[in-house]
Structure 1
Amino acid sequence: MLLGVVGEAELLRRASGARVVSLGQGMGLLPDATGVVSEAELGAWSALGAVARVEAEYFGGLGEQWATVWEGGEVVLGPLHLPEGEELPAEGSPISRALRRLGVVAGAGEDEFSAVGLGRHRATEDWLN
C-alpha cells in the first residue's frame, strides 16, 4: 500500500519539517504509512501551494486508488476513488488526476503516476528506506 502526501518537494519540506522523498518534476512524497497527517494540516499546508493525499493498494495487478487535492486551504479535487475491478475513466486514475492538478505533465506513453516515479515502490515503508 502507498499512502502519502505529494506536492512541490520544497513546500512539503517547509510545511512538514519531515523527510521528503524527491520525485520527478520537482515533486516530493511525504510517506504517511500511519495516516497521521490530518486534513486540517493538509489544508494549512495548501496555503503555500497545492498538496494531495494519495493512496494506492495493489496486489497482483489489481487494486484501488484514492486521491484528494487541497489548495488555498480548501479541497479543490476529490475525494476521488477508483474501486478494484472498475474500469479506468478516460480522465485517468485518481492519483494521475491529482498529480495533473499539481502541475505534473505526462509524456507520450505514460501517465502522471509514472512521470514522477511513483511506481518505483508500491509500499509506503519502502519509500522510507
Structure 2
Amino acid sequence: MSYVLHAVVGDFDHLRSLSDDVPRAVVAPLRQRLGLLPVTDEIFDELTDARRESGPFTLMSPAFAERLKDWSRGGHLAYVEADFWGGDGSQAAALWENGRQSWGPEYASIPVGPPHEDWPINAVLARLGVVRTGALDLFDTVGFGQERDTEGWRRVGLHALDAADYDTWEAACRAKQEADARAAAERDRYIRRDDVPVVLDGRTVMQMLDIPPSPMVGAAIRHLQEVHLERGSLTRDQAAAELRRWAQS
C-alpha cells in the first residue's frame, strides 16, 4: 500500500489564517493543535512560480521557500514530504521560524521496520513541540496515518471548513465521539454476548415474556448476561425470576 504526503504543518489556527489568501487551500486538523495544509500541484502553482529545484523535496522552489519564510514570521512551521510503497520509502522535512529556515532540509531513505525518533518527520515534529503519546512515535501521535495521500488530507480539510477554529473543531469531534459511544452502548443492549453463558435461550425468553421475535429478545438475554457477570451463574429459576422482574421494570 502506498503513502504519499506533501504538506505544510504548523499551528492549525495560524495555517488557517494563511490559507485564506490561497485559492483552493484547506487546512486539515491534526492532534495537539496542529494543522496540515496539503500541497497539491495546484496549490504549489498558486504559491510559487512553478519552477522546481532539485534537492530532497519534490515540490520546492525559491519562491515557495520565500513564502514559507514569510509565513513563519507568525509562528514556526514545517514542510514535510513522504513517499512509501510496501513499507519502504523516504521522508524529507525542514523547519522555518521567525522568517528563516532554522532546520533542514533533512532527507532519509526509510527501510521496513520500527520507527525512529531521528527520521525527518519525527524530528521536525519534535521541533514543533509535539509530545509523544504512549508507544506511538510522533508521526502517529499527531495522526499522520489517518490518510494515505495528499488528496485524502484535502478532503479532511474540506470537512473541517465549518469549524471557526481548532477549539471549535475539537469540541465537535468530542461531541461526535460521545454521541457515537452512546449509540454503540444502546446497540449493545440488544446484542447477545458470545463470551458470557446464559441459561435461557431465545425461544424460552419469548415464551416467558409472550413476545414475538424482536430486538427485545436480544435485550432480555443481554440483561441476563450482565446479571451473570455481576452476581455469578444463575439457575433457570433464578434467571426466570430476574427476567420477569426486568420486564416489569
TM-score (norm 2): 0.49
How many residues are paired up?
129
Residue pair 2:116, 2:122 contacting (<8 A) in 1 also: no
Aligned counterpart for 1:7 among listed residues 1, 7, 10: 10
Percent of aligned pairs sharing the same letter: 40
Give the root-mean-square deviation of aligned CA atoms: 2.0
Deviation at 1:76, TM superposition (A): 1.0
Aligned counterpart for 2:101 among listed residues 43, 55, 75: 75
2:74 counterpart of 1:48: yes
Could you say if the C-alpha distance between residues 84 and 125 of structure 1 is closer, same or farther in structure 2, counting changes exceeding 3 Å? same
* Greater radius of gyration (CA): 2
Amino acid paired to 2:67: E
TM-score (norm 1): 0.91
Residue pair 1:2, 1:33 contacting (<8 A) in 2 also: no
Secondary structure, aligned partner of 1:25: coil
Aligned counterpart for 1:25 among listed residues 32, 46, 63: 32
Q: After alignment, is 12-21 or 111-120 more displaced?
A: 12-21
Match of 2:148 in 1: 122
Once residues 121 and 65 of structure 2 are traced to their aligned partners in structure 1, the CA distance between those partners, rounded to angstroms, is: 17
Gaps of 5+ in 2: 48-63, 156-249
Match of 1:106 in 2: 132
Once residues 147 and 90 of structure 2 are traced to their aligned partners in structure 1, the CA distance between those partners, rounded to angstroms, is: 16
Gaps of 5+ in 1: none
